[in-house]
Amino acid sequence: MRPAVRSFLTVALLCAASQTFGQTLIFKGGERWEVNDPFKLDNSVPPKQVVDPKKGTISSLKGTVVRTVNSGGTDIESTRKLAEVERIIWPTVDKLTEAQLFVSRGEPSKALDSVEPIIKFFDAFKKTPGSLWLKASMVKLDALDRLENDAVIGAFLDNLEKNDDGSNPELQSKIKLARLMQRARRGEHDAVITEAADLISKLDDPDVLARLHIVKGGSLLATKKYEAAMNTYLRVPVFYGAQAEHLPKALLGAARAFRGMDSPATKEQRLEEISNRYLRDLIATFPVSKEAEEAKKLLPKEDRLAAEADAAKIKDAAVIPDATAKPDAPKADNANSNEGNK
């Protein structure tokens, strides 16, 4: 099964599994409080938060959580400080998934509207293991990146760096990644290629690694190092296929790299046909993504219509079939790095 398709099934299973666990705060000493989800709303107009009186209610402004327990027929209210929370169990919020979808569709303003309340809510325990603050912040960065407003991105990154006390390596690596993305937009491609390769060799976070390969691939493409760009982009579906939100950019980048490699000298390799296969796969598998719209502009009309028909079949199918294009295994890291720095 294609990595792109397999990732959809994996995400679906994880989402289904996550719903079996409620929102839980684990305090120092091991005490566990199940709490209400502030993002779960009823159907009234305007909608109101669904509150279970048996669960705790968080006040981010006060930095507390309050819970009422009935003991011997008497309601007893207890208050704990959020600073005492040692760990959080919190399934992914629907609004966060919605924001990621808006980013992939090329609707960054809507994504920001969805993600800002999540960032604000989790700000009180941003560094607590299990908090969705960092994940939501990365979605905000993705949305700002789509807007290509470096002034706003810079201000947001400055704020992230103020919150970086060195205790969260994941935050540090993602700030470095975002700064690298800014430099790529400024056209500092040779430096981006070198620094991305260095970070790739040091990190093990699949999300960051997938993003770094896309940033590096973009700079290789911009400097016309097409074969190295192709190998770099294809590492994403091959090695980081579970990071589904990054696959459209990787597939589009690989297709553009194959087009760049096409020349009279490589005519027998039929590289444009290979490029078109990736574009068709992108449109069929990720039909609502911004990259799918870009892919349609590159494809001949006949291929575009065929890809759109495939997308409709996948949407209507009870079981998602294997996709058409299968990425060739990319070259080893050392070969990729050497080519990328020629």
Q: What confidence tens digit (pLDDT) does each residue in 185-206 have?
A: 999 999 999 999 999 999 999 9
pLDDT at 315: 61
Tracing tokens 């090695």 back to the chain, one arrives at 239
- The full length of the chain comes to 342
**Rounded Cα–Cα distance for residues 183 and 178 (Å):** 9
* Residue 235 Cα distances to 19, 163, 269, 281, angstroms: 31, 32, 21, 16
Q: What confidence tens digit (pLDDT) does each residue in 9-61 have?
A: 444 444 444 444 589 999 999 999 999 999 988 999 999 999 999 899 999 88
Are 53 and 105 within one domain? no
pLDDT at 328: 53
pLDDT at 164: 73
Are 137 and 227 within one domain? yes
Are 55 and 200 within one domain? no
CA 306 to chain centre: 28
pLDDT at 184: 94
Q: Is 128 left (phi over 0), alpha (psi -120 to 50) or beta?
A: beta
Count of CB atoms within 10 A of residue 331's CB? 18
Are 71 and 39 within one domain? yes
Q: Which domain holds residue 292?
A: 3-21+91-340
pLDDT at 7: 43
pLDDT at 314: 67
Are 325 and 180 within one domain? yes
pLDDT at 338: 44
Asked which of 87, 111, 127 is the last residue of a domain, the reply is 87
Asked which of 45, 66, 87 is the last residue of a domain, the reply is 87
Are 100 and 73 within one domain? no
Are 161 and 137 within one domain? yes
State the distance between the two ends of the chain, measured CA to CA, in whole angstroms: 35
pLDDT at 203: 93
pLDDT at 319: 33
pLDDT at 302: 86
* Residue 315 Cα distances to 7, 103, 107, 187, angstroms: 16, 20, 21, 39
**Rounded Cα–Cα distance for residues 11 and 98 (Å):** 14
Total domains present in the chain: 2
* H-helix or E-strand spanning residue 99: helix 94-104
Name all contacts of 317-324 with Cβ < 8 Å and 24+ positions apart.
320/5, 320/8, 320/9, 321/5, 322/1, 322/2, 322/5, 323/2, 323/4, 323/5, 323/281, 323/284, 323/285, 324/277, 324/280, 324/281, 324/284
Are 203 and 144 within one domain? yes
Asked which of 59, 87, 115 is the last residue of a domain, the reply is 87
pLDDT at 87: 95
**Rounded Cα–Cα distance for residues 292 and 272 (Å):** 17
Which tokens is 295 given? Answer: 């892919």
For residue 308, which amino acid is it?
A: E
Are 129 and 180 within one domain? yes
What percent of the chain is helix, strand and coil (3-state, nearest 5)? 60, 10, 30
**Among candidate residues 235, 320, 236, 237, the one with its CA nearest the CA of residue 4:** 237
Are 50 and 109 within one domain? no
The low-confidence residues of the chain, meaning pLDDT below 50, are 1-20, 317-326, 334-342
pLDDT at 213: 98
**Rounded Cα–Cα distance for residues 84 and 32 (Å):** 11
pLDDT at 92: 82
Q: How many helices (H) and strands (E) does the chain have?
A: 14, 6
Name all contacts of 321-326 with Cβ < 8 Å and 24+ positions apart.
321/5, 322/1, 322/2, 322/5, 323/2, 323/4, 323/5, 323/281, 323/284, 323/285, 324/277, 324/280, 324/281, 324/284, 325/2, 325/277, 325/278, 325/280, 325/281, 326/2
Q: What DSSP character marks residue 49? A: B
Are 278 and 179 within one domain? yes
pLDDT at 127: 85
Give start and end residues of each alpha helix (H) in 186-239: 189-202, 206-222, 226-239
Are 157 and 302 within one domain? yes
* Residue 137 Cα distances to 99, 158, 254, 321, angstroms: 11, 13, 28, 34
